[in-house]
Each structure stands twice: as C-alpha cells, then as structure tokens.
Homo-oligomer: A and B are copies of this chain.
Amino acid sequence: MIATIGYVRDLAAANLAKGRLYRFVFVLPQSNNFFMRELRHEVEGAIVRSGAERVSIRIVQVPPFDAPALAAALDELRHGPKDEEPAGIAFVAVDAPEVREAVARLSRSGIPVVSLVSDLPGSARDHYTGIDNFAAGRTAGSLMGRFLGQGSEAVVAVMAGSMLLRDHRERLQGFEASVGEFYPHIRLLPVIECRDDSPTAERLLTALMVQHPEIAGIYSLGAGNRGLVRSLQGVLTEHRPVVIAHELTAATRSALHEGSVDAVLSQNAAREVRSTIRVLKARADGMSFVEQDERIGIDIFLKDNLP
C-alpha cells in the first residue's frame, strides 16, 4: 500500500527524532586465551566507534565454563531501570539447560539475543554468529588426509581444549567423520585435552610424541597452540608431522610461516563482532537481514594466503 508510492521510512530521521540509543550488551567469558581476548578487543573497538552511530555497547564478563554464572548474568540484564533495558544481547553460550532457560526468559521479554562463537541450538536465541564447527572439523579431516597422502597406516593425534565445549565436540565429530569416511588408513589416537592451556598442551603432546614416535599428524582443535608449537620444536624437520590448528594467532601465524604448522582454520573475530551488531540492530528495529550476508565462513590459511 504505502510501498506502492515508493515510500521508504528514513530510519536516520526517525532515530534523530526519538533520540534513539541502541543499548547492546556483550556477555563474554573472562578467559585468557588469545581468541577470547581478541574477541573482547574487537568489542572494545566497536565501543569506541559506536559513538557516532547511536550505539552504546557494554561488556559484561562472566567466569568461563560456568553455566549458572552465565544464566545469572543474563537474568540480571532483564532487571534494572526500564529505560536502561538492553536493546539486544550477545553472549558466548555454555551449553546447559539453565542457560537455555535464561535465554527463553530474555526472549519472552522481547529482547533480541544472539549467540556468539559457541551456539546454543534449540534455545530461543534469535541468531547464531559463528562458524559451523562440524564443517570445520570435516575440513581439517580432508586437509589432513590430503596432506598425509595415500599409503600405509598413518597415526594422527588429536588435541582438544575440553570435551565439555560444544564447539570442540563438534569439530572432533566432523574430523572423525571425515577421516573415517575418506581416509580409513588414518588411525586416530585417543583425544587429549589440554584445557586450552599452553603449558599443559606442550607437556601432553611432548609425552605423546615420545610414546608414539610414529605420529604423522596432529590436529589441534582448541586453544593452547603456543604449547603445541613448542612441543614441535624438538622434532627433526624430516620427521615433522602434518599439523593443523585452529585460530590465527601470533603463535599459529609464525608457525605457519616457518613451516611447523601446515594449515590453520580460523574465524574472523572482528567480522563476527560487526555482524553481531548489525543483526542486533536489525532485530531492534524489527528489520530483517540477509542471513547469507551474515554467515561467518571457515577461513583456511596456508602460509601463502595469510592476511
């Protein structure tokens, strides 16, 4: 009806008129691993830039891996003065029922919610900003299979942060599925868990390589890659295993460059933060967004296509 005339509502004018301020909250784990720090850093960058855009972003930190604390933090945001109610919330999910319930309460209050980096399927979240971790694991499997080449049995080690983390579990599943289907000559050692901690990663991997000198490949699907790189330092070049890791960090970047790591799968934290803000804004305005535009791809980095 209105559209027939060719009318388009001028959102900028509307926002000016009502002195609108989009209050968004990012609930982030106070983890110390590189990726979470980067994520926090990107949100802080967005805060600086947000001045010009009628956006006000606040970061709320919660203890990592702590579902009750996360749920409490989410509930907290629903209270407080009515005019300070957030216009949207982004949070890194911990996969637990109480978190799902807190999200349901937010949703019932009409507050847009976006899960970030780690998803909460089956919850009332409006959107998930992050990569498909199952596909990431499959991709790692393919690369491992291709890089190792055909031949007799090859032994591959897998290191995760924690099997309690949904994204780590999904990566592992994808990796196992891909290797099992296409590269049956690869034998996977039992997963070791380094709790995303570098010293632990170094210790565990070094021990594993002593125990299994025949290791031909390593897939590190979590954090703690400084330790991974250090454990590789003693290995002779000609015995270097094929190494695939996650997240482009200072450690993985230089390891790629010097050849001790062969491929890095990564997600772009800056892009994730910007996308999240666009999505929250759209939802806050009751606007739709192009799902396809907001998909976060799995970046594959070799030494040759480093940004």
Residue ranges of A at the interface with B (Cβ–Cβ < 8 Å): 8-13, 15-16, 51-52, 54, 135-136, 138-139, 141-143, 146-147, 149-150, 174, 178, 262, 270, 274, 292-293, 295, 297-300, 302-305, 307
Extra pairs beyond A9-B52, A139-B304 (6, CB < 8 Å) = A8-B51, A10-B16, A135-B304, A270-B292, A292-B307, A299-B299
CA distance A69 to B17 in the complex (A): 47
B12 lies within 8 A of A304 (CB): no
CB distance from A167 to the nearest CB of B (A): 15
CB distance from A295 to the nearest CB of B (A): 6
CB distance from A67 to the nearest CB of B (A): 30
Highest count of chain B CB atoms <10 Å: which of A9, A136, A305: A305
B305 lies within 8 A of A293 (CB): no
CB distance from A55 to the nearest CB of B (A): 12
Query: Which of B16, B270, B295 has a CB less than 8 Å from the CB of A307?
Result: B295
A298 CB contacts on chain B under 8 angstroms: 305
Instruction: List 26 A-B residue pairs with CB atoms under 8 Å apart, sorted by A's residue number.
Output: A8-B51, A8-B52, A10-B16, A11-B52, A12-B12, A12-B15, A12-B16, A12-B54, A135-B304, A138-B305, A139-B304, A139-B305, A141-B304, A142-B303, A142-B304, A143-B302, A146-B147, A146-B262, A174-B304, A270-B293, A274-B293, A292-B307, A297-B307, A299-B299, A300-B300, A300-B302
What 9 pairs across the A-B complex have the smallest Cβ distances? Answer: A12-B12, A138-B304, A300-B300, A149-B149, A139-B304, A139-B305, A298-B305, A8-B51, A142-B304
A305 lies within 8 A of B12 (CB): no
A174 CB contacts on chain B under 8 angstroms: 304
A9 CB contacts on chain B under 8 angstroms: 52
A303 CB contacts on chain B under 8 angstroms: 142
CA distance A215 to B32 in the complex (A): 50
A51 CB contacts on chain B under 8 angstroms: 8
A274 CB contacts on chain B under 8 angstroms: 293
CA distance A112 to B12 in the complex (A): 25
